[in-house]
Amino acid sequence: MAVNKKNIMTRYFFVILLMGLMGIAIVVKGAMIMFAERQYWQDVADRFVKENVAVKPNRGNILSSDGKLMASSLPEYRIYMDFKAGGEKKDTMLMNHLGEISEGLHQIFPDRSAAEFKKHLLNGRKKGSRNFLIYPKRISYIQYKEAKRLPVFNLNKYSGGFHEQVYNQRKKPFGSLAAQTLGRLYADTALGARNGIELAFDTLLKGRDGITHRQKVMNKYLNIVDLPPVDGCDIISTIDVGMQDICEKALVDKLKEINASVGVAVLMEVATGEVKAIVNMMKANDGNYYEMNSNAISDMMEPGSTFKTASIMVALEDGKITPDTEVDTGNGVMNMYGSKMRDHNWHRGGYGKINVTRILEVSSNVGVSHLIDKHYKNDPQKFVDGLKRMGIDQPLKLQIAGEGKPNIKGPKERYFSKTTLPWMSIGYESQVPPMNILTFYNAIANNGVMIRPKFVKAAVKDGELIKDFPTEVIIPKICSDHTLIQIREILEKVVSQGLAKPAGSKQFSVSGKTGTAQVSQGAAGYKSGRVNYLVSFCGYFPSEAPKYSCIVSIQKPGLPASGGLMAGSVFGKIAERVYAKNLSFDMRNAIDSTTNVIPAVKAGEMNETLYVLNELSVPVQKQFTGQKKAPMWGHTQAAPSAVILQGQETSSNTVPSVIGMGAKDAVYLLESKGLRVRINGVGKVKSQSMAGGSRIVKGQSIALTLY
């Protein structure tokens, strides 16, 4: 049979054409999947296939030395809607319940009306958005759970479309207290910590990521945990919240009074080196003071007269002088190699002939510089070696980053001239951060033992100690006991008889040294008359058995500038308040056994109050009736011989009066009426924004002021 070649070629052509069309269709479909439908298939993949997904652990808390929460991670949410999820069934449900959903959102977020929410949701539905932001702000966990209860929103995200994005927000319950020392995190949590304790102990705080994958089990897709996340450890800091508050308030009040630019206050426990409080305040453009830098550990400045203590100690230790060695300071002006060394009272005729003890009492520049120049001008290295022997030049290697390294100039270094030694002896031509000066004075208070300041005591997890940070000794003895006794007697007299009297107290003795130094502003600054001053006081208390050491350092523009009156007065307030905080009395000695003690009692639930007072045998006058099982809210009065309990009728339609109640009772009672409560302050309720007896509109916010 003859082969019909034409017919075969025709068939072959159609086969090739068909395969070509199929190839083109495959390419077109592939392009559509890669570009036009890319987001859709990525969403599908996210739903059904997830391999090696990292699960972030909870970051550990930072606690104060007495267990108070100072920094913690709390979840915040942004809520979204996928209008394509769930198909027509979900869309029908959404439209049927749109009014109810809008009203519910308004109750949760009163700043937007139900009509605004309805219009907003319809706009998202019209666009067919898959990731439509329902509310523009981040919301709390409680608000998220309330929104999740609304119709449609309570379905899973594949059926209802409601989904969320979770943020771990770092919160500080005590606000700005010790904020710079506690540290901050970057807004992008993947970048980790920025500074402070958060950065220094990031590896302990952040924990370890977990790993999960998505797997189909019995026709359902489940997240299977391959490696569970390990939450971070809690860090116990050395900061005492009460002492931190005392230091911050005392310092900021003085900064405002003298219009200072920078202020530092550090309080340290003498025996352990634990930093109980650290304040770093800088004046911002708005005129207020904020913690912006770690000035206490980083500021490289000439310390001024607080350095004179170290200079005199070197000469005492080397046997060059005694506390009774006399110097004729003349009229307060002495020529030092062509430059004028002046005492602060040179224009009043100076101090004349005075001994070493009096030299430090009145902070005589002429006296100190003359002694050091007289005994060390031929061998300045011996003086520098004496300073280094006492560790004042030592880097502290602190637990947190950012410390400055002290700069004590040596005679072999550039620019060491004949005037360098006398000016160095009074705290110029050297740079020492405030924390290093405090560590030196703390060593004097600690019987000559120099210890490293610390900010963290331990890391714990689930109540178990993970890592301990013991006290570290830098130098076992900075000087002989004989020198130590001499300098401690002198420093006590500086406060009791010298220029540092504002740092003292009538209740206990204080020891320390003032400091006043000009801060270099460059040639232009001096020519224009714009001179800044560093006023400071560093010391310890009580003098006989030192418990705490403290430094106060303030930078201010222009005169007057006095380390005793300005920094010393801040030190005095801190010392007295901290000392009073640690006082304890046996209250039994203050009670007259023949009289009844009538306590102040908060308003609240009267049956519970009555039960507690009866158990404590406190006399009570009951002026309310009602069943014990039914709550009876009311108020109290303290009479001379008894506590008067008065009942208060409450209606479901009116706002109850919560004046005099504690926060717990007030919030419970108001929220049970459908109100949203905002609290400001601590203690008892002083005022409420909605008067008692006014009509309740559920979902309204009521503000309570406590005192």
DSSP 228-254: --BPPPEEEES--HHHHHHHHHHHHHH
Please say if the pLDDT value at position 240 is more than 90: yes
- For residue 226, name the pLDDT band (cuts at 50, 70, 90): confident
Average predicted confidence (pLDDT) for the chain? 88
Note the pLDDT of residue 133: 94
High-pLDDT (> 90) share of the chain, %: 56
Q: Mean per-residue pLDDT for 480-485? A: 96
pLDDT reading at 587 higher than 90: no
pLDDT digits (tens, 9 = 90+) for 338-363: 999 999 999 899 999 999 999 999 99
Q: What is the pLDDT of residue 323?
A: 96
Residue type, 374: K
Options 3.40.50.300, 1.20.1430.10, 2.30.30.830, 3.40.710.10; CATH of 241-581? 3.40.710.10
Q: Tell me if the bond preceding 560 is cis, omega within 30° of 0.
A: yes
Structure confidence at residue 43 (pLDDT) = 67
Q: What is the pLDDT of residue 527?
A: 46
Domain ranges of the chain: 53-236, 241-581, 604-706
Quote the tokens at residue 632: 């009876």
C-alpha dihedral sign at 676, 679, 683, 689: negative
Q: Which CATH architecture has domain 604-706?
A: 2-Layer Sandwich (3.30)
Q: Do domains 241-581 and 604-706 have the same CATH topology?
A: no
Tell whether the model's pLDDT for residue 509 goes beyond 70: yes
Count, in order, helices (H) and strands (E) of the chain.
22, 31
Amino acid at 266: V
Nearest by Cα to 705 from 675, 650, 660: 660
Contact 549, 442 (CB under 8 A): yes
C-alpha–C-alpha distance, residues 267 and 575, integer Å: 9
CATH H superfamily, domain 53-236: Penicillin-binding protein 2a (Domain 2) (3.90.1310.10)
Q: What is the mean pLDDT of residues 542-565?
A: 93
pLDDT of residue 526: 43
Question: pLDDT-derived band of residue 524, with 50, 70 and 90 as boundaries?
Answer: very low
305: nearest Cα among 205, 194, 417, 427? 427
Rounded to 5, what percent of the chain is helix, strand, coil? 35, 25, 40
Q: What is the pLDDT of residue 218?
A: 61
pLDDT at 124: 92
pLDDT at residue 222 is higher than 80: no
Q: CA of 537: how far to CAs of 388, 472, 642, in Å?
A: 22, 25, 51
Q: What average pLDDT score do residues 548-566 get?
A: 93
Mean pLDDT of 301-307: 93
User: Which are the contacts of 610, defined by CB distance < 8 A and separation ≥ 6?
Assistant: 620, 622, 645
Q: Which tokens in the block code for residue 228? A: 């569970």
Residues 434-461: what's their mean pLDDT? 96
pLDDT at residue 668 is higher than 80:
yes
User: Within 10 A of 192 (CB to CB), how many other CB atoms are there?
Assistant: 14
The per-residue pLDDT for 224 is: 76
Q: Which amino acid is at 493?
A: K
Q: What local confidence, expressed as pLDDT, does residue 220 receive? A: 63
Which of 122-131, 350-359, 576-585 has the highest mean predicted lDDT (pLDDT)? 350-359
What pLDDT is recorded for position 649?
A: 77
Phi, psi for residue 504 in degrees, rounded to 5: -85, 180
Per-residue pLDDT band for 586 (boundaries 50, 70, 90) equals low
Residue 535 has what pLDDT? 95
For 428, phi and psi rounded to 5 degrees?
A: -110, 170
Beta-strand runs (E) in 456-503:
456-461, 464-468, 473-475
pLDDT, tens digit (0-9, with 9 covering 90-100), for 55-75: 788 889 999 998 899 998 888
3-state secondary structure of 279: strand
**pLDDT bracket for residue 381 (50, 70, 90):** very high
Q: Which residue has the tokens 């400001």?
A: 680
The answer to whether residue 47 scores a pLDDT higher than 70 is: no
| Contacts (Cβ under 8 Å, ≥6 apart) of 575 | 503, 505, 508, 510, 541, 548, 550
Residue 528: pLDDT band with limits 50, 70, 90: very low
- Helix, strand, or coil here: 348? helix
Instruction: Quote the pTM value.
Output: 0.72
Q: Where are the beta strands (DSSP E) in 218-349?
A: 220-227, 234-237, 262-269, 275-283, 289-290, 326-328, 333-336, 339-342
Instruction: Give tens-digit pLDDT for 177-193.
Output: 899 999 988 876 666 78
As a whole number of angstroms, the distance between CA 149 and CA 140 comes to 15
pLDDT for residue 209: 85
- Beta carbons within 8 Å of 544's beta carbon, 6+ residues apart: 509
For residue 395, what are the contacts with CB-CB under 8 A and spacing of at least 6?
403, 405, 406
Angle ∠(703,290,503) on CA atoms, nearest 5: 110
Q: Give the lowest-confidence range in 103-117, 479-493, 655-669.
A: 655-669
Q: At 20, is the pLDDT very low, low, confident or very high (cuts 50, 70, 90)?
A: confident
Residue bearing the bigger pLDDT, 581 or 393: 393
Between 585-589, 641-645, 690-694, the lowest mean confidence (pLDDT) is in 585-589
Closest among 499, 520, 519, 517 to 571, alpha carbons compared: 499
What's the confidence (pLDDT) of residue 523?
43
Does residue 522 carry a pLDDT above 60?
A: no
- Which pLDDT score is estimated for 95? 92
Cβ(424)–Cβ(368) under 8 Å? no
* pLDDT band (50, 70, 90) for residue 646: confident
Whether residue 542 is preceded by a cis peptide bond, meaning omega within 30 degrees of 0, is yes
At residue 622, the 3 state secondary structure works out as strand
Instruction: Say if CB 192 and CB 207 are below 8 A apart.
Output: no
Torsion of CA 250, 251, 255, 256, to 10 degrees: -40
pLDDT for 311: 97
The alpha carbon dihedral of 358, 359, 362, 367 has a sign of positive
Residue with tokens 């714009």: 530
**Residue 49: per-residue pLDDT:** 55
How confident is the model at residue 579, as a pLDDT? 92
Per-residue b or e along 566-586, where b marks 16 or more CB atoms closer than 10 Å to that residue's CB: bbbbbbbbbbbbbbeeeeeee
Instruction: Please choose, from the candidates 579, 633, 568, the residue with its C-alpha nearest in 3D space to the C-alpha of residue 602.
Output: 633
| pLDDT exceeds 50 at position 569 | yes
Question: Taking 90 as the threshold, does the pLDDT of residue 480 lie above it?
Answer: yes
